[in-house]
Amino acid sequence: MNNNYNLFSQPWEYSISRNVTLWHNSLTLMGSLAHYGAYRLPNLHHVRVHRGFHADFYMLGTGEGGRQNFVIALRENFCKPEYLSFLQSIYKKNGEALLALARETKADHQSMQTFFDFYAECICLLDITAQASKVITDHVVSLFKDNPNSVEIIAAYSAPKMLAPVQEMERTLDDAIVNNRREVSDAVALQARFGWIPANFVGEPWDTDYFIERIKHHVPVKREAPILPYGELTDEQRYYCDVLGEIAVLNEYRKAIFSQVNLIIRPLFDTIGHKMGLSGWKDVGLCLHQEILDFLQTEVKPNPVVLSERQKICLLHSNEAGEVDVLYGSEAQQFEETFALDCSEQHEVRGMIANKGKVRGRAKIVLSPADFSTFYDGDILIAKMTSVDFIPIMKKAGAFVTDEGGLASHAAIIAREYNKPCIIGTKIATKIFKNGDIIEVDAEIGLVKKK
């Protein structure tokens, strides 16, 4: 109980939400306390509140292991151009090594221990780009705070020099339509090249039928050649715009790595799950990494009642002994009541402008692909964050509004790709608005409000 008392007395701050497995998050708790030194950064303390695979992430705000110290270290590191080169190198090295290891891993204790150990080290790649995107975005915005054309300038000069995988896919589809290639063989080739994209941690890959439909209905997007506007930038402005663009590239790279890795190991977890008496990889996803290792070593199966409780609500945190503890029921709910964002009595939100414009439309809260079928042309997409599987509805949307993200986020990149009004980093838009609300997105001043 003492550990729980210490947990509730700490300054936790809500960070983001994701759909992830519990074994991934138990490895996150371990990795964030053990491996950030390899990336020249201080450790981070996390709490993860799960309802099945949906997890709300909290970070310690201040003190040792707090986000504040992490952000300060990021700022100091990015003052030196060498640090970006270091990150580019270590992302590529660790990403390629994790992919190779996933292909070699077997369903035995030693092999899985090796995989989990390195996976925990590579998990640091996730928080670095997520936090760096926000940190560098804030700094870039401050550098242009007195410029009335700041949004256009930042968008032009921070554009990533490499396409994200989903942008490559869209251009490949454009090429297929322009050249009148609408055969099944084209869909098969697209699936082999891009099918892994939406897998993430618990998503389903695109199959050939998905690409058959995409080819059938795809309309190429007219893209203007980028123009670098408004005169000269200072050396500092240009440097940090370049850094922001490179962070976007790293962000998409690490997403690609973890999507592919998690897809590669699913058959392995199917095998382990069947041995546990479970249905497959999704049920194994409700286990902590140590429980999987313990089963492979002792053949003691996880308690199905415990796994069922994790579908309702549970909280993962690292205790004073450096182990993962799990709280259930009222204790997990108490944590949420104490540290969740307060958004009562609000009818509007402000955020950062990722792409200018002004539009009015019907609000549609999209928390998962299950919400896609009720999304219609002109609806305002409101999401915690967007991901590659959102692309079909993003094309139909009148505007994008997100709780999370910086100017290197997926929503910001795609908003500029499709020239849609976009406001990011509102923190609470998904809690303030309801499906069917008529709202105005004013991406000239960064305001979203009910009408």
What's the pLDDT tens digit per position in 48-78? 999 999 999 999 999 999 999 999 999 999 9
Q: Which value, in Å, is the radius of gyration of the alpha carbons in the chain?
A: 22
pLDDT of residue 179: 81
Judgement on whether residues 9 and 27 belong to the same structural domain of the protein: yes
Using alpha carbons, list the distances in angstroms from residue 56 to 4, 44, 345. Answer: 18, 16, 22
- The verdict on 303 and 370 lying in the same domain is no
Of 306, 339, 372, which residue is a domain's last? 339
Name the token pair of 291. Answer: 């429980």
On whether residue 289 sits in a domain, the answer given is yes
User: Is residue 224 domain-resident?
Assistant: no
269 and 124, same structural domain? yes
Structure confidence by residue, pLDDT tens digits, 255-283? 999 999 999 999 999 999 999 999 999 99
Based on the fold, state whether residues 24 and 83 are members of the same structural domain.
yes
Region 149-153: mean pLDDT is: 86
- Asked if 60 and 29 touch (Cβ cutoff 8 Å), the reply is no
Q: Are residues 314 and 375 in the same domain?
A: no
pLDDT in tens, 36-46: 999 999 999 99
The span from the CA of 369 to the CA of 390, in Å, is: 7
Give the pLDDT score at 347: 86
Tell whether 437 is covered by a domain: yes
Give the per-residue pLDDT at 224: 67
Position 2 pLDDT exceeds 60:
no
**In-domain check, residue 380:** yes
Average pLDDT over residues 108-132: 95
Q: At residue 222, does pLDDT exceed 80?
A: no
Would you say residue 389 lies in a domain? Answer: yes
Same domain, 108 and 26: yes
Specify whether 199 is located in the same domain as 332: no
Structural domain count, the chain = 3
> Is residue 312 domain-shared with residue 268, that is, in the same domain?
yes
Would 141 be classed as within a structural domain?
no
- pTM across the whole model: 0.90
Span of 173-187, 395-409, 435-449 with lowest mean pLDDT: 173-187
Amino acid 1: pLDDT: 36
Rounded average pLDDT over 303-318? 95
**Same domain for 91 and 6:** yes
Rounded to the nearest 10 degrees, how much is the dihedral formed by the CA atoms of 164, 166, 169, 173? -130
pLDDT at 225 over 80: no
Tell me, yes or no, whether 386 and 443 share the same domain.
yes
Is 140 a domain residue?
A: no
270 falls within a domain: yes
Sequence-separated (6 or more) residues with CB below 8 Å from residue 305: none
Residues 310 and 363 in one domain: no
Indicate whether 227 pLDDT > 80: no
- As a whole number of angstroms, the distance between CA 22 and CA 310 comes to 9
The range of the structural domain enclosing residue 191 comes to 165-217
356 and 313, same structural domain? no
Spatial contact of 354 and 430, defined as CB atoms under 8 Å apart: no
Mean pLDDT of 420-441: 94
